[in-house]
Structure 1
Amino acid sequence: MTSVHSVTYGIRLLEFTVRRRERKTLEIAVEPDASVVVTAPIGATVEAIEAKVHKRAAWILKQQRYFSQFLPRTLEKRFVSGETHLYLGRQYRLRVSSGLKDQVSLKRGFIEVSSTRPNNRDFTKGLIDAWYLHRAHVKYRERLEASLERFAVPENFRPTGLIIRQLEMRWGSMSPAKRLMLNKRLIHAPVDAIDYVITHELCHIPEPNHGAAFYALLDRVMPDWSKRKDRLEEIMA
């Protein structure tokens, strides 16, 4: 029996998998891929497990930093023709050309950049970043409306606002004032993964914590959420 939970430690969000076993003590392990696994007694409460993880958070982060040095590094983008960039879970080749005005478009498997400064990589990066941000504003609002339809009374789960930011440690969050914040990097992820993050955060409107009631609601409105989460982490690693 396994479940996924998280605790906040400072500005960090520590996610961990709980495995319940016939045992008396609770054990926390950080795996070589930097994932956190908690082996807990069957009768241990979620609150007790989260408290223990929070108490050991400094040690967990230290172990994750150690293992992260051995993980594969994502090559830094150079923003030149020929390299690949992700958009909605698909790889597109970048094609930069000289043009009379600056614009970015998606055409037949290519991200086309028409630029007045085609040899300036920083300028190209700025154009592409602006295009991604624009697409995020359009796509996230579209997926928010689709995700709301998963709930019996959609308006009860409608956030008061949508904010898009560069987030370092999480894909999204829901404030006590019901403002939904999404990581702008999510625009690289597949639509089903974006829907998972949005739905996850909408479930926090009635259930602020990652307790049993929260996961019962998430399971009900999105039964395959764990598969979507796994795909998100695999593609965006």
Structure 2
Amino acid sequence: MSVKKLCFTKPLGDVEVFIERKSVKRIRLKVFPDGVVKLSAPLGVPDKYLNDFLKSKTAWIEKSLNYFKATAADELETEIRSGTTTRILGRQIRIMVGEANIHKIKQEGDYVYIQSPATGDNKALQKQFGRWWRKQSKAYFLAAIDRLYPIIAKHGIDKPALQVRRMKTIWGSCSRRHGKINLNYYLYKAPPPCVDYVVLHELAHFLHPKHDQDFYGFLTVHMPDWKERKRILDHEVVRGLGY
């Protein structure tokens, strides 16, 4: 893996781009919420082409880095308190914390109300919020699987089980051997059409294991606008996870 420095205006300054050459069909550029920038390229692509490619993407890289810096606290839920915001299914949601003798969370419209006897304990609030988020996201993902599963059911594929996991670099994965789909804990932030895209993407792998022409043809038949949904995930959803 090599490293190339790009020069940006303040406050970013010099930014390192980690370049990895491997057996992939196309160049993939990722900007992560922690400020890491990675580029994967096919083995035979010349250095000059990669340099020109990065120059053409400098504005997008700078915009992404500044966006993550400006929104990091709210999007990562590093502090749970009244007035902070998060995203649920593409909508900006405000968090309200109130003192109570019970632990309870409910969502009403654009607000999530957290009741807790430990309103001053951020670690306890994070755990409470995390348990609620996992329960809500899993219920939503299961419903999405139920809606889209008939697309592959007619091919004799059993309905896969679901696991929700915190993942740093992908929106989802699947295990054909174990009949299971893994979806990213943070995917619940994405708009519903994007969630459906990831679910269908993983379901499609039970028929077409590789990212080949048959796989993308299957996606296009059943979700003609999948490329736009993927673009939103890669460039607009704050997690910035590559998929």
Identify whether the pair has TM-score above 0.5, normalized to the shorter chain.
yes
1:168 aligns with 2:168: yes
Distance, in Å, in 2 between the alignment partners of 1:122 and 1:116 is 13
Report deviation, 1:108: 3.1
Give TM-score, length-normalised by structure 1: 0.70
Distance 1:231 1:130, change over 3 A: same
Q: May I ask how many residue pairs the two structures share in their alignment?
A: 195
Amino acid at match of 1:83: T
CA RMSD of aligned residues (A): 3.4
1:103 maps to 104
1:228 corresponding residue in structure 2: 229
Deviations 1:148-172 (A, max 9, x none): 234471752622x211111111111
Q: 1:163 to 1:30 in 2, by over 3 A?
A: closer
Per-residue CA distance 1:125-164 (angstroms, 9 max, x = gap) = 11111110001221111000111234471752622x2111
* In 1: Cα distance, 2:153 partner to 2:176 partner: 22
SS of the aligned residue for 2:120 comes to coil
Q: Does 1:113 align with 2:114?
A: yes
Secondary structure, aligned partner of 1:93: strand
Write the deviation string for residues 24-50 of structure 1: whole angstroms up to 9, x where unpaired.
xxxx58599957587xxxxxxxxxx6x
Partner of 2:213: 212
Aligned to 2:65: 71
* Deviation sequence 1:48-78 (CA, Å, 0-9, x none): x6x758xx9xx9xxx9xxx78x822242232
2:6 is aligned to none
Q: How do residues 6-21 of structure 1 correspond to structure 2 at under 5 angstroms?
A: 18=26
Given residue 120 of structure 2, which amino acid in structure 1 is its aligned partner?
Answer: N
Verify the 8 A CA contact 2:172 2:181 in the aligned structure 1. Answer: yes
- 1:134 is aligned to 135
The Cα of 1:107 is off from its aligned counterpart by 1.5
Partner of 1:196: 197
Is contact 1:98–1:114 with CA below 8 Å preserved after alignment? yes
The 3-state SS of whatever aligns with 2:102 is coil
1:180 alignment counterpart: 181
Q: Contact 2:163/2:182 (CA < 8 Å) preserved in 1?
A: yes
CA contact (8 A) 2:118 2:124 kept: yes
Please give the secondary structure, in 2, of the residue aligned with 1:173.
Answer: strand
Percent of aligned pairs sharing the same letter: 25
Report if the CA contact (8 A) 2:152-2:204 is conserved: no
5+ unaligned residues in a row in structure 1: which ranges?
1-11, 19-27, 39-48
- Note if contact 1:219-1:225 (Cα within 8 Å) is conserved in structure 2: yes
Work out the CA distance in 2 between the residues paired with 1:213 and 1:96: 49
Taking a change above 3 Å as real, the CA distance of residues 148 and 176 of structure 1, as seen in their structure-2 partners, is closer
Aligned to 2:140, what secondary structure does the other structure show?
helix
Opposite residue 75 of structure 1, the aligned amino acid is A
State how far apart, in whole Å, the 2-side matches of 1:131 and 1:153 are: 34
Counterparts in 2 of 1:97 and 1:154: CA distance versus 1, 3 Å: farther
Describe the SS at the equivalent of 1:192. helix
1:63-114 residue CA offsets vs partner (Å, 9 max, x unmatched): 9xxx78x822242232111011111111111100001101111023211001
**Who is 1:158 aligned against?**
159
Mapped contact 2:174–2:180 kept (Cα < 8 A): yes
Distance (Å, rounded) in 2 between the aligned partners of 1:32 and 1:93:
26
Q: Check conservation: 1:84, 1:94, Cα contact below 8 A.
A: yes
Q: Contact 1:193/1:229 (CA < 8 Å) preserved in 2?
A: yes
The answer as to whether partners of 2:31 and 2:38 remain within 8 angstroms in 1 is: yes
Return the alpha-carbon distance in structure 2 between the equivalents of residues 222 and 152 of structure 1: 16
Instruction: Find the aligned partners of 2:138 and 2:173 in 1 and give their Cα distance.
Output: 16
Structure 2: unaligned runs, 5 residues or longer: 1-19, 55-60
Aligned partner of residue 75 in structure 1, secondary structure: helix
TM-score by length of 2: 0.69
